[in-house]
């Protein structure tokens, strides 16, 4: 029978298991949503019991790598991410790239799903910026880069919910 651990891993994602047709238990880490992780475990178990290899299924929805998603986001922005479908300006594009690279390092992101459950880490990173003497507008720019990226990922179905939707507002 498929199941999910009660507590998430340090990454914020849940670890789950399922049984194959031979009664062997298989473990995997999936999403920051316990419900979604259980659904994936049940899907894998059903496929395994039908003789399929659920881990070889390309449509299994494996998490998208963070760096790959950032590159796709930046390419789209440079093409038509600005107002009225116009390309981003050179400075705006460079700053988005810098900010998203910084977020990836600060949050140790390997996959987009790693953003889930990291709101506390996001706030700590922003506090470090403030303690380093960064201007409120600069901090707001970092926040806006992350928010825009997360909205883009949601729009492109790379995440099922906005991981920073509950992030507070910043005056800048």
For 4, other C-beta atoms within 10 Å of its C-beta total 22
Where residue 157 falls (left for φ over 0; alpha for ψ -120 to 50; beta otherwise) is left
Instruction: Spell out the residues 6+ positions from residue 83 whose beta carbon is closer than 8 angstroms to its own.
Output: none
Instruction: Spell out the residues 6+ positions from residue 160 whose beta carbon is closer than 8 angstroms to its own.
Output: 31, 33, 36, 154
Sheet arrangement for strand 15-19: 3-4, 15-19, 25-29
**Percentage of the chain with pLDDT > 90?**
46
In the predicted structure, residue 28 carries a pLDDT above the cut 90: no
What would the mean pLDDT of 67-76 be, rounded to a whole number?
94
Residue of higher predicted confidence among 53 and 71: 71
Whether this model's pTM surpasses 0.85? no
What single-letter DSSP state applies at residue 109?
-
pLDDT of residue 58: 41
pLDDT of residue 57: 43
- In the chain, count of helices (H) and strands (E)? 5, 3
For residue 54, what pLDDT band results from cuts at 50, 70 and 90?
low
């Amino acid at each position: 029978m498929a199941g999910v651990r009660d507590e998430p891993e340090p990454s914020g994602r849940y670890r789950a298991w399922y049984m194959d047709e031979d009664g062997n238990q298989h473990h995997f880490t999936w999403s920051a949503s316990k419900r979604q992780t259980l659904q994936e475990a049940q899907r894998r178990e059903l496929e395994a019991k039908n003789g399929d290899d659920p881990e070889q299924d390309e449509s299994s929805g494996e998490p998208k790598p963070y760096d790959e998603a950032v590159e796709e986001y930046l390419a789209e922005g440079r093409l038509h991410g600005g107002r009225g479908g116009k390309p981003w300006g050179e400075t705006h594009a460079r700053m988005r790239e810098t900010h998203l690279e910084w977020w990836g390092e600060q949050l140790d992101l390997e996959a987009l799903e790693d953003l889930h459950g990291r709101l506390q880490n996001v706030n700590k990173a922003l506090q470090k910026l403030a303690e380093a003497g960064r201007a409120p507008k600069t901090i707001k720019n970092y926040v806006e880069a992350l928010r825009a990226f997360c909205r883009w990922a949601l729009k492109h179905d790379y995440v099922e919910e906005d991981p920073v939707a509950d992030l507070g507002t910043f005056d800048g």
